[in-house]
Structure 1
Amino acid sequence: MRPRVFLHVGSPKTGTTFLQDVLWSQRATAGEQGLLLPGERFNDHFLATLDVRGLVDDPSCPERARGMWDRLVAEALAWDGSVLISHELFAGATAEQARQAVAALADDAEVHVVVTARDHVRQISAEWQEHVKHRSAATFDAFIREVRDDAARTSWFWQVQDYAGVLERWGAGLPADQVHVVTVPPAGADPTILWERFAGLLGVDPAAFDIELERSNTSLGAEQAELLRRVNVELGDRLPLPGPYPLVVKNVLAHRVLEPRAGTRLALDAADQEFAAAAARGIADRIAAMGADVVGDLDELVPVVGGATADEDRDDNAYAVPSDATLLAESVATIAELLVVLNERRAAVQRADDLTTTAQEKPIRFALVHASEQRPLLRKLRAAYRAAKERRSN
């Protein structure tokens, strides 16, 4: 039987991290339901985006990315059920790159292209934050102007947030019923709705999965985002990206320290909301004209203008840059939390050093003290040895 391969190719900030976390944290459950997530780990799908987009020759690109798309394809084609390859950065592929990627599967599999999509009032704010988390020093106002002034839609924002364009590039040549858009419900809606829509499309039972996971990649408040932006300005050429920036700034400062802090939600003013709504309506109309399969409702992509959305409970629709006094207080609190994180990591390194020293200087004592901790691993090793021995004997 030909496998059915779902290529979930975008878009960023449309619930992709949530959906990926649910499936990869319960990969065995997905497998039991006939859904393969190829690769050793989720990061392999990110590496595949680099491979597909022709970035593997960049010296900063991990060597493992080279040929990753072909490896995922080979694993997918060897499966006799459904397969999901999912990463939002596939949305950045050109038409030719997408065509070649799909062609690698099309002869031997039933290929389905999937895009998750959300209203653009939320997307513009979310994308600015994401850019700041990736070392951008552009202000919110400057980012909005760039989005609005890009009539040709050649910027990264429109490359990945023009959902119709993403579907056109990736779905070229596929039957309309194999090109899907899953709409993200309005802000404040039950998160199970998005999961049920996505799981239903994949053909797995939504109820079989636990979706009460710790949320990751959540939004920053206005104060936290502006503080991070100013840190990026101060860093200058230090901590480059690619390089140490994601490990130190994005993962620790942004995700660990700033995300949990309460802040003011970013908001577009009335004119920018009107722009976002008009752009979204045009995109929704193009998707409808394509005849693509819509899981949800295209009206959910067009924000209601003139009032706050449910997750942006505010009296004023205009964004105001946080004052220096506010940012000073935020900076002091952030430094304090960073010191706590630094101490936790120092303590972890010290414990590892102590264990290493004990193992070297007192190996017998180390073995006796830590024997109970090693038993589960030893059992797994013995089981693997017995299985290998049985295979050889057969």
Structure 2
Amino acid sequence: MVANHEQAKEQGLLWPGPAWKAHVEAVGELRELERGRQLEPDGPWLRLAREAREWPGPRVLISMEWLVACRPHQISAAIESLAPGRVEVICTARDLLRTFVTQWQEMTKNRRPWGWSQFVEEMLANRPGPVCRAFWWQQDVPVILRKWGKLVSSERVHLVTVPPERSDPELLWQRFCSVLDLDGTSFLSPRHTNDSLGVVSAGLMQRVNVRAIDQGVADADYKQVFQGTLAINILAGKRGAEQAIAVSEEVDTWIRARAERMVKKLRRLDINVVGRVEDLLPGSALEGREPDDVDDAELLDACVDALVSLGLSQLQALQRARAKNQQLRQQIAALRERNVALSRQPDARGVRTRIRGAMSHGRAGVGRLIHRRGDAP
């Protein structure tokens, strides 16, 4: 939606921000709101809400996956901040089998240290703890919809189902647009996609996470280097050369049974389903292999490839910095020449303008404009 916010505006839909970062920061602040506390008046959520309230058009879209984890008091705060506007909820969901493997590899891109065996064991045992909590807070669709449905009337709660595999790739987008009364046929496709990792790369990232945590890598540094550069820019690009993640027959059976129970609960909810609730039942078995089947030789090859790619990335960054420095040097040289010329040619009022550029030891300095009246000393 970021790339198409202007086209959306023409149809009466505001995507506030419009940068994606504005939605991330806003929902992040909302999720941290403690019971009994108020949102910061100039904080990211209320800035976004203020933009939404001031929009003269009929619709505003705020979208970020962390909204599913909001607690009741956080949901209330969000709704109150958007009054007198009418809040509607749109939840997208896909079948549990694809979700199961996708969620684990997403965890490996987000600093989670849990190996595949631990993830599977704790999920099948429904063991209370961080693994199950990290999965179900985003994926227990009936719980999510009931939670929001307590504060938003049922006719304003929409479940958009992801079509089965081999469906028209535009069908999900069409379903989503139908809820927004939006014609998205002419919208641009996003330039960046959140590509999944292959089975080898996901295993490599999980091991990187363990070491990063052991060495105390800060969250901000992790996001920039390990998540942004390594996982997203490098390893995700190797997805086509790797096998996908699959599950064992035991896990497949467990997931299908759990999905059946979830669909039965959803059928009992009085909500608007866009698509079919049966879309959330797994189709054919996944092709690929389990992460634990990846051997050390494959991980070593992936590690070497990643190191080379990281090195090339650093070289490209260095080349860009050198080019920028050269450009700044040329600009400063031009300013110096102009300074000399202007200092020799006073204007009719006796005003001289001097432009000083500073550069020492080959480094670009700061240009300053100094305006003086009267005779030059």
TM-score range, shorter chain: 0.7 to 0.9
- The normalised TM-score by structure 1 is 0.78
Q: Within 5 Å, which residues of 2 pair with 1:1-394? A: 23-54=1-32, 67-79=43-55, 80-105=57-82, 107-150=83-126, 155-211=133-189, 213-238=190-215, 240-261=217-238, 262-304=241-283, 307-308=284-285, 312-314=286-288, 319-363=291-335
The superposition leaves residues 330-380 of structure 1 with CA deviations (integer Å, 9 ceiling, x where unpaired) of 2222222222111111101111111222222333789xxxxxxxxxxxxxx
The answer to whether the 8 A contact 2:5-2:18 is kept is no
Q: CA deviation at 1:284?
A: 2.0
| Cα distance per residue 1:119-141 (max 9 Å; x no partner) | 11111111111111111221112
Once residues 109 and 200 of structure 1 are traced to their aligned partners in structure 2, the CA distance between those partners, rounded to angstroms, is 20
Q: Partner amino acid for 1:120?
A: L
Q: Is the Cα–Cα contact under 8 Å of residues 93 and 162 in structure 2 kept in the other structure?
A: yes
Q: Is the Cα–Cα contact under 8 Å of residues 200 and 291 in structure 2 kept in the other structure?
A: no
Gapped runs of 5+ residues in structure 1? 1-22, 57-63, 367-394
Shift of the 344–288 alpha-carbon distance from structure 1 to 2, 3 Å rule, reads same
Matched residues, number: 330
DSSP-derived class of the 1:182 partner: strand
Question: Structure 2 vs 1, CA of residues 279 and 228 (structure 1 numbering), >3 Å: closer, same or farther?
Answer: same
Partners of 1:101 and 1:161 in 2: how far apart? Answer: 21
Cα 1:214–1:176 shift into 2, 3 Å: same
Question: Cα deviation per residue 1:309-329 (whole Å; 9 max; x = unaligned)?
Answer: xxx434xx6554311111112
Distance in 1 between residues matched to 2:184 and 2:298, nearest whole Å: 43
Structure of greater relative contact order (alpha carbons < 8 Å, 6+ residues apart): 1
Quick one: which amino acid aligns to residue 313 of structure 1? Answer: E
Computed over aligned residues only, the root mean square deviation of the Cα atoms, in angstroms, reads 2.5
Report the Cα offset of residue 232 of structure 1.
Answer: 1.9
Normalised by the size of structure 2, how large is the TM-score? Answer: 0.81
- Cα pair distance change 1:134/1:241, threshold 3 Å: farther
SS state at 1:110 partner:
coil
Determine the C-alpha separation between the residues in 2 that align with 1:280 and 1:182.
Answer: 16
The question of whether the paired residues in 2 share the 8 Å contact of 1:135 and 1:241 is answered with no
Partner of 1:377: none
**Who wins on radius of gyration, i.e. which is larger?**
2
